[in-house]
């Protein structure tokens, strides 16, 4: 997820780094609309437009827990929401999900470069807007979930050797922790953008027991203050990607970059 991103009328200096072993296990773009002209024909029409690339379709039922508290009474229940439709590629690592006022474009590993993935996002949003005719976009979300595996012996690694963000606690509590979760919310200089950084310990898979595993989850949320046209949307996504690249590169050290194997280096 590391390459230079630019948008119309803006520029930010970020490292133009590409890795042979990027840690991205999933990237996704979420779009929340408002006041769409949704009806039961939209999923089928959408599928006809993308089925050559996403031939498999699934229906996903959505349920929401509800709780209410009144005088001397509490109630709990489950409400069934309108279903989502999922369209999946033959190779199973790409998916588009749609519902009323909602669209998600998913890309699991192997993750391509952003400039290769972005046209798929742009095409999906264009088709959705043409068919469902939403009045506006209320929120955009761009998210990268990174799984970082560091070879380790029986002793714990020093996290500061690999990460610039990590938990710190009083020495009286000991020098190591068995598990942790750190969450930071960082408003960005780009108006309306906020980056959520979640850094947590994880467990190794059975086939790779001699590693220590960490999850670095980066999520840019943009809430535009005006309706977005096609060019505005593309710029907002580029800004979000730029913010996440900056967050990623500033959360890791050169020692970790060496494990990801920078392209262009021996």
Considering the domain boundaries, does residue 100 fall inside one? yes
Considering the domain boundaries, does residue 176 fall inside one? yes
How many distinct structural domains can be found in the chain?
A: 1
CA 234 to chain CA mean position, Å: 16
Q: How confident is the model at residue 71 (pLDDT cuts 50, 70, 90)?
A: low
Whole-number pLDDT of residue 6: 37
What is the pLDDT averaged over residues 225-232?
68
The CATH number of whichever domain residue 83 belongs to comes to 3.30.310
In eight-state DSSP terms, residue 5 is -
Q: Quick one: tokens of 128?
A: 């959705």
Comparing CA positions, the residue from 200, 196, 225 lying closest to residue 214 is 200
Considering the domain boundaries, does residue 236 fall inside one? yes
Residue 265, pLDDT above cutoff 80: no
Domain extent, residue 234, equals: 24-63+76-260
Comparing CA positions, the residue from 147, 146, 26 lying closest to residue 97 is 26
Considering the domain boundaries, does residue 162 fall inside one? yes
Residue 63, pLDDT above cutoff 90: no
Q: How confident is the model at residue 224 (pLDDT cuts 50, 70, 90)?
A: confident
Q: Quick one: tokens of 14?
A: 């970020």
Whole-number pLDDT of residue 75: 61
* Arithmetic mean of pLDDT over the chain: 83
DSSP codes joined into one string, 7-46: BTTB--------BSS--EEEEEEEEEEES----THHHHHH
Considering the domain boundaries, does residue 15 fall inside one? no
Q: How confident is the model at residue 138 (pLDDT cuts 50, 70, 90)?
A: confident
What is the pLDDT averaged over residues 40-60?
94
List pLDDT tens digits, range 139-182: 999 999 999 999 876 567 788 899 998 877 667 666 666 788 89
Considering the domain boundaries, does residue 241 fall inside one? yes
Residue 2, pLDDT above cutoff 50: no
Residue 37, pLDDT above cutoff 50: yes
Residue 19: how many other CB atoms lie within 10 Å: 15
Considering the domain boundaries, does residue 212 fall inside one? yes
Cα within 13 Å of Cα(173), Cβ side: 7
Cα dihedral 170→173→175→177 (10° resolution) = -110
Q: How confident is the model at residue 74 (pLDDT cuts 50, 70, 90)?
A: low
């Amino acid at each position: 997820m590391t390459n230079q991103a630019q948008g119309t009328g803006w520029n930010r200096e970020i490292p133009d780094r590409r890795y042979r072993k990027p840690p991205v296990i999933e990237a996704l773009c979420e779009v929340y609309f408002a006041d769409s002209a949704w009806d039961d024909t939209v999923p089928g029409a959408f599928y006809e437009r993308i089925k050559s690339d996403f031939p498999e379709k699934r229906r996903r039922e959505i349920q929401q827990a509800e709780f209410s508290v009144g005088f001397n009474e509490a109630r709990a229940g489950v409400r069934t929401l309108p279903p989502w439709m999922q369209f999946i590629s033959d190779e199973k690592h790409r998916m588009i999900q749609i519902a009323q006022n909602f669209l998600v474009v998913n890309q699991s590993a192997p993750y391509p470069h952003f400039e290769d993935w972005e046209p798929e996002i742009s095409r999906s949003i264009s088709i959705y807007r043409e068919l469902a005719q939403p009045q506006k976009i209320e929120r955009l979300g761009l998210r990268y979930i990174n799984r970082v595996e560091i070879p380790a012996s029986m002793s714990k690694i020093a996290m500061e050797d690999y990460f610039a963000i990590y938990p710190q606690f009083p020495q009286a509590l000991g020098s190591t922790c068995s598990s942790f979760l750190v969450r930071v919310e960082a408003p960005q200089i780009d108006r309306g953008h906020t980056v959520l950084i979640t850094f947590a310990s994880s467990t190794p898979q059975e086939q790779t027991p001699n590693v220590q595993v960490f999850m670095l989850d980066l999520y840019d949320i943009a809430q535009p203050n005006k309706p977005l046209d096609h060019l505005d949307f593309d710029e907002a996504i580029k800004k979000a990607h730029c913010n996440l690249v900056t967050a990623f590169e500033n959360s890791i050290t050169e020692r970790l970059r060496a494990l990801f194997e920078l392209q262009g280096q021996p």
